[in-house]
Structures are given as structure tokens and as C-alpha cells.
Amino acid sequence: MSERPRLTVLSGPSGVGKSTVVAHMRKEHPEVWLSVSATTRKPRPGEQHGVHYFFVTDEEMDKLIANGELLEWAEFAGNRYGTPRAAVLERLEKGEPVLLEIDLQGARQVRGSMSEARLVFLAPPSWEELVRRLTGRGTEPPEVIERRLEAARTELAAEPEFDETLVNTSVEDVARELLALMDVV
């Protein structure tokens, strides 16, 4: 008997490698559907509207929230991010595996509203390595990195709230482990 696929939530501190792991996984398994979030953050070089995020204005985000169009949303390091509800429910209804890559506050909201969701925490091999990755990515100025590292301390402390922890030492290994958790392979 095949179980209804569960919603999988991948969370973890900024810079730990969530996007890298998800991109690697989807290259080999494009059938895993990743929700595209709305955000008020400005695009980084190379980021495309509708692919990496729906880049919206503050007013547009206000509307999405007021109209109940988001499954969850949170403010993270000065910007707002949220998961469009309809697309996620549609995919789950069709029986397709669904992945959300969201922050801790969002993961907590999903846990509250969708009890069948599986929460996966992506942890860095060490604090020093997290700092190295976040700084090395070179996409944020020092004050934003500081803010994200401050958030990271809170996120790391919340690891026991998650169903599973994967340590991102090797992108290939973590992608494989995540696929196995999602019953894709």
C-alpha cells in the first residue's frame, strides 16, 4: 500500500547549504517539487522571478498575508518570506512529493497546521564552517551576515524540535539522505 506523500520541510541556518543541497537533488530528481516562496528581499545576481522566489513589494506581501494566501510566513533578517498555499495543496492532492525550504519560524507554523509534515534540520559540521560558508558565499554585506549569524544561534538551538537532522558535510550524501527520507528513492 502506498502512503500519501508527506510534506517535507527543510530548515537550517542561513549559509548551511540548503539551496545547494536542494539544487543538487533536483538535478537528478526533477520530480521533487520545490515550493517557490514569495519574498520582499531583493534578488541576488542570477536569481530569477518565479524560479528562485516571487520577488514582491511590501504592499504585495501585505496583500498575500491579508488574503490568507500563504501557508506560513515569517520575517527573517529584515525581509519577509512566505509559502503560497494553493500550489502546495494542489501538489499534495495529486500525490506528488513536496519540499519546502523555509526558516525555523515557518517550520514551526507548518508543524502547527499540518501535523503529517516531516521536519528536517540541516546542520553545519561546525559553527566555524557555517561562518566560513556564509561569508564565503559573498552575497551579503558584513552587517547582514552578522544578522544572519545571530539568527543562526537561535536556529541551531531549535534542532531538537525537528524529526530528523542531517549534517551537511557532503552535498551528495545529504541529497541522497533527503531523497530517502522523502521516499523518492
Judged by the rule CB under 6 A, the positions of this chain that interact with ligand ADP are 14-20, 133, 136-137, 168-171
Output the smallest distance, CB 167 to ligand ADP, in A: 9
Main-chain dihedrals φ then ψ at residue 139, nearest 5 degrees: -100, -10
111 is a contact residue toward ligand 5GP (CB under 6 A): no
120 is a contact residue toward ligand 5GP (CB under 6 A): no
Output the smallest distance, CB 76 to ligand 5GP, in A: 4
C-alpha torsion sign, points 74, 156, 159, 132: positive
8 is a contact residue toward ligand 5GP (CB under 6 A): no
**Residue partners of 11: CB distance under 8 A and separation at least 6:** 18, 101, 102, 103, 104, 106, 107, 119, 120, 121, 122, 155, 162
| Dist CA 162 CA 171 (whole Å) | 20
Biggest alpha carbon–alpha carbon distance for the chain: 52
8 binds, among ligand ADP, ligand 5GP, none (CB under 5 to 8 A by kind): none
102 is a contact residue toward ligand 5GP (CB under 6 A): yes
112 is in an annotated binding site: no
82 binds, among ligand 5GP, ligand ADP, none (CB under 5 to 8 A by kind): ligand 5GP
| 16 touches 126 (CB < 8 A) | no
Instruction: Indicate the residue among 7 and 123 with the shorter CB distance to ligand ADP.
Output: 123
Output the smallest distance, CB 33 to ligand 5GP, in A: 14
Output the smallest distance, CB 172 to ligand 5GP, in A: 21
83 is a contact residue toward ligand 5GP (CB under 6 A): yes
- Strand pairing category for 38-39 and 79-84: antiparallel
| 39 touches 81 (CB < 8 A) | yes
Annotated binding site for ATP: 12-19
